[in-house]
Amino acid sequence: DLAITVITAFLWLVSTFAWAKALADIKMSTGASIIAGIESCKAPGTTCRFGSVTSMRTLNVSVVFGLLNMVLWGGNIWVLYKDINLQN
């Protein structure tokens, strides 16, 4: 049980960080800074402006809950470790 819990906690941690990085990339690629890279906005006489982006609050919350879940897995590891009789 301990080994499976350690592996699961590690994979959860890695996947949470991967999701956080992907979310940061999504925010960067949908932000106002992309206007400068759009070729049609560079045409003479053309004005491009940034309107808005849908709120990403729920996505931020999902990253926070992923990290909190990692803390719970870490607690489970500690409980399992303390429960194992290492004398045998």
Q: Which of 27-31, 32-36, 84-88 has the highest mean pLDDT?
A: 27-31
pLDDT class of 21 with cuts at 50, 70, 90 = very high
36 versus 65: the higher-pLDDT residue is: 65
Task: Name the pTM for this structure.
Answer: 0.73
Mean pLDDT within 49-77: 89
Task: Identify whether the C-beta of residue 16 lies closer than 8 Å to the C-beta of residue 73.
Answer: no
pLDDT at residue 60 above 90?
Answer: yes
Those residues whose C-beta lies under 8 Å from the C-beta of residue 81, and which sit 6 or more positions away, are 2
* Inter-axis angle of helices 2-29 and 57-83, nearest 10: 170
Residue with tokens 């999701």: 19
Q: How many structural domains is the chain composed of? A: 2
Same domain, 15 and 41: yes
Same domain, 3 and 46: yes
Mean pLDDT within 36-48: 85
Mean pLDDT within 70-86: 85
Distance (Å) of CA 73 to CA 4, 15, 20, 23, 64:
11, 14, 18, 23, 14
Determine the structural domain holding residue 31 and report its residue range.
1-53
Same domain, 59 and 48: no
